[in-house]
Amino acid sequence: MMDDTKDFSMACPAPASDYRQILLAHGGGGTLMHRLLNQVFYPAFANDMLGQGGDGAILQVGGSRLAFSTDSYVVQPLFFPGGDIGTLAVNGTVNDLAMCGARPLYLSAGFIIEEGLSVETLRRVVDSMRHAAMTAKVQLVTGDTKVVEKGKGDGLFINTAGIGIIEHDLSVQPRSVKLGDVVIISGDVGRHGMAIMATREGLAFESDIESDCAPLAEPVLDLLDAGIEIHCLRDLTRGGLASGMVEIATTAGVHIHLEERAIPVREDVRGACEILGFDPIYVANEGRFALFLPEQDAGRALDILRTHANTEGAVCIGSVTDGRPGLVTMTTVIGSRRIVDMLSGEQLPRIC
Amino acid sequence: MMDDTKDFSMACPAPASDYRQILLAHGGGGTLMHRLLNQVFYPAFANDMLGQGGDGAILQVGGSRLAFSTDSYVVQPLFFPGGDIGTLAVNGTVNDLAMCGARPLYLSAGFIIEEGLSVETLRRVVDSMRHAAMTAKVQLVTGDTKVVEKGKGDGLFINTAGIGIIEHDLSVQPRSVKLGDVVIISGDVGRHGMAIMATREGLAFESDIESDCAPLAEPVLDLLDAGIEIHCLRDLTRGGLASGMVEIATTAGVHIHLEERAIPVREDVRGACEILGFDPIYVANEGRFALFLPEQDAGRALDILRTHANTEGAVCIGSVTDGRPGLVTMTTVIGSRRIVDMLSGEQLPRIC
C-alpha cells in the first residue's frame, strides 16, 4: 500500500509519534505512516528531491530529466482476481513513473523468497511480470534474489524500482496545483481493495470483483502529447482516493472540494463495501489516478482519456476552491457537506 | 548474498533444476541460484541489458550512459561489528554501480518492516544509511515503507536501487576480459562473512573481526580518471572471491589462474575460518573487489588503489591464462594445483 503517497517523496506535516514499536497501521498510507516518515525518514534524508511530494523523484542526470521511483509489494494473497503480485509489482512502479509525467523505460526487480515457496508459483509470478512489462512497454534490466528461512518471510515479497524519462517542460507535482483547477478521476474506485478482501476472506459477492490493476502511462503520455497543461497526477493506491486528495491538499496548501455523487463506484463494489463497512473512497486502487488541470483543458482531457480502455470511465469529481488550505471537503449524495480526513492506518493491510 | 553476481545481470549456463521448492541455498550465490536464474528469470526477461553479466545494467537514456542496479538486504543479525543492514544497503548498491564503472548518484530505498520492530532500531538503521550515503556521496531520493504482520517477516528487510552515470568510453564487463589480463584484489578477504558468523553464533575469537563493508566508488573512479584500461570489475560478496572468479571465467569464456599465496587473509580471519571449517575464498566480503586489466597498467593501478584507505591492501593474485575457457584454477600454498569451483549454495545464509 502507499505507492500513491510515495512515502519519502511525500511531504506531509504531522505531529510527533509516541509509538515505540512499528504497528501494521504504520504501513497503511494514513496519518500513522506519515508521522513515521516525518519523524524517522525525512530528517535523515532531507534533500530537494524528497521534498517534491510526488510519486517519485525527479532527477537531472546528464542532459535529461528522469523520474525514479520504488515500491515493495507484500500483497496477500499472491494471486487474486485481475492480477497477482507480479502484475502489481510492474504496474505499480510503472504508474508511479507515469504520475511524474514520465515515460517509463526500465525496471529493476528484487525478490525476497521464503524457503519452501514452490518453483511453480515463482514461475507464474515471473510470467505475469514478463507479460505486464511487455504491455507497459518497459524492460526489466537488473534484479536480485534473496531467500529467507521458512517462517521469516511470507512466500514472496517483490521490490521494483523504475526509471522514466520526462519529455516535456511541465512541473507535474502537488505544488503546481492551482485555485480553480478541476479534479478528474480516471475511472471507478475501490475494485482492487475489494478484490483482495473478497479473496482473502473467501467471500462470494453477487459477481466477481476484479482488481483494476493496469498500466497508466499511455493515457498520461497522450494527454501530455496533446499539450494538456497537467498540474498534478496521483495514483490512488494505499489509502484510496481520500488519502490521495488529503496528501495533495496538504502538500499544495490548497482546498479541494469533491462531489460524492460524481465519484464512480461499481454497484457490486458499493454493495461489498456496504456489507463490510468500508467507504469506497478509502479503498485502494491499482489502475486509477486523479488529475489536476485548468478548467479550460478538462473537456479535451476527458475526450483523450475516454479513448483508452484503462481510463474510459474518466469523469470530473471536484475542483480546487477558495477555502482552507490543506482541507478536503465533499458534498455527499444526500447534499450535506463533510470533511474528508486521512485514516490513521489502512482499512485493509497488505493490499499491495 | 549475491550482489556481486548481480543475479539477473549474470549469464551463467547451468543445467536444469529439478527442485520443486525454493531452498535456502537458492539464495546463496552458488550453482543452485544460477540454475534458478537460468530456468525462471532469464527466459522471462531476456534482453541485451540482462545478458551483460555485470553487477548492474548499462542503459542509454537521453544522451547519457547510466548504470542501474538493485539489491535486497536480509542480513541477520541487523547489527554486526563494522556495520549494520543500513550501511550494507547503501554500500552494496553503491558498489554494484561502481563495479559498472559508474559514478553512483542516486538511491531508492524500500523498507519491509515486521510489525513490532522498535522505532529506535529503525532510527539507528536509517541513521546508518544517512551516514553511509554521505560518505559515498550519493543521495537517497525516493522510498517506500511496507509493514507485514509479526511472524511474516524478520525485523527488517531493505531494498535499494541505484542510478550512476558512466563518464568514460570503456566497456567494463566480463566479456571485456582478455588473455593476459592481470587480476588485482583490493584487499584481504573473508572479514564480512566471519564478522556476521561470529555475531550470529556468539563466538569470541582472539580479536574482534569487523566487516570490511565500505564504499568502493572513489578508488574505481580514480583508476578511470588516470586512464587505467579497466576490463572488468567485480565486488566479492555472496559466494566470495571464488564465486566471482568462476562467474567471470564462465561469462567471459576465459581461464583464470590464481595464486593462493598471494590472496590476503587476515590472521584472525584465517584462524576463525579454520576453526569453523570455512574456506576464506568462499566467504562474503562487502568492501572488496577484483579488477581485470592489462599487465602494463597493473603497477599504476596498484599505486592508485594503495592511496585509498578502503583499497590500500590491493595486490595481484592471478591472471587470465591460456587454458580451458570457463575454468578457474589455483596454485595452493603447498604448491599443488586445484580447480576452484562454485559452491552449490552458500556457506552462510543471509550474509547480506
CA gap B181, A206 in Å, rounded: 69
A142 neighbourhood in chain B, CB within 8 Å: 6-9, 49-50, 56-57, 68-70
Burial of B313 (0-12, 13-18, 19+ CB in 10 A): middle
- Strand arrangement, sheet containing A57-61: A57-61, A64-73, A156-166, A103-114, A139-148
CA gap B132, B83 in Å, rounded: 10
**pLDDT digit string, tens, across residues A130-165:** 999 999 999 999 999 999 999 999 999 999 999 999
Confidence at residue B52, expressed as pLDDT on a 0 to 100 scale:
64
Residue A151 forms contact with B (CB below 8 Å): yes
Say if the ipTM goes beyond 0.95. Answer: no
Report the Cα B75 to chain-centroid distance in Å: 14
Whether the CB-CB separation of A112 and A156 falls below 8 Å is answered with yes
**pTM given for the model:** 0.93
CA gap B315, B235 in Å, rounded: 15
Q: Please report, as a single letter, which amino acid is at residue A82.
A: G
Confidence of residue B46 (pLDDT cuts 50, 70, 90): confident
Question: Does the structure show a pLDDT above 90 at A314?
Answer: yes
Confidence of residue B81 (pLDDT cuts 50, 70, 90): very high
Percent of chain B surpassing pLDDT 70: 91
Report the Cα B336 to chain-centroid distance in Å: 28
Residue A309 region, left (φ>0) first, then alpha (ψ -120 to 50), else beta?
A: alpha
Q: Please report, as a single letter, which amino acid is at residue A108.
A: S
Interval A62-89 mean pLDDT: 96
User: What is the DSSP track for A100-135?
Assistant: TT-EEEEEEEEEEEETT-BHHHHHHHHHHHHHHHHH
Residue B5 forms contact with A (CB below 8 Å): no
In three-state secondary structure terms, B294 is: coil
Question: Does the structure show a pLDDT above 70 at B1?
Answer: no
Give, in degrees to the nearest 5, the angle at Cα B299 between B296 and B304.
125
- Smallest CA–CA distance from A33 into chain B, residue: B145
Confidence of residue A19 (pLDDT cuts 50, 70, 90): confident
Question: Does the structure show a pLDDT above 60 at A5?
Answer: no
Interval A330-340 mean pLDDT: 97
Burial of B270 (0-12, 13-18, 19+ CB in 10 A): middle
Confidence at residue B200, expressed as pLDDT on a 0 to 100 scale:
87
Do the chains contact at A21 and B118, CB–CB below 8 Å?
yes
Cell matching residue A16: 510527533
Do the chains contact at A147 and B113, CB–CB below 8 Å?
no
Whether the CB-CB separation of B23 and B346 falls below 8 Å is answered with no
What is each CA distance from B317 to A265, B226, B257, B302, B336, in whole angstroms?
67, 22, 9, 12, 16
Question: Does the structure show a pLDDT above 70 at B297?
Answer: yes
Interval A40-65 mean pLDDT: 83
B25 neighbourhood in chain A, CB within 8 Å: 147
Confidence at residue B5, expressed as pLDDT on a 0 to 100 scale:
39
Strand residue runs (E) in B13-138:
57-61, 64-73, 79-80, 83-84, 103-114
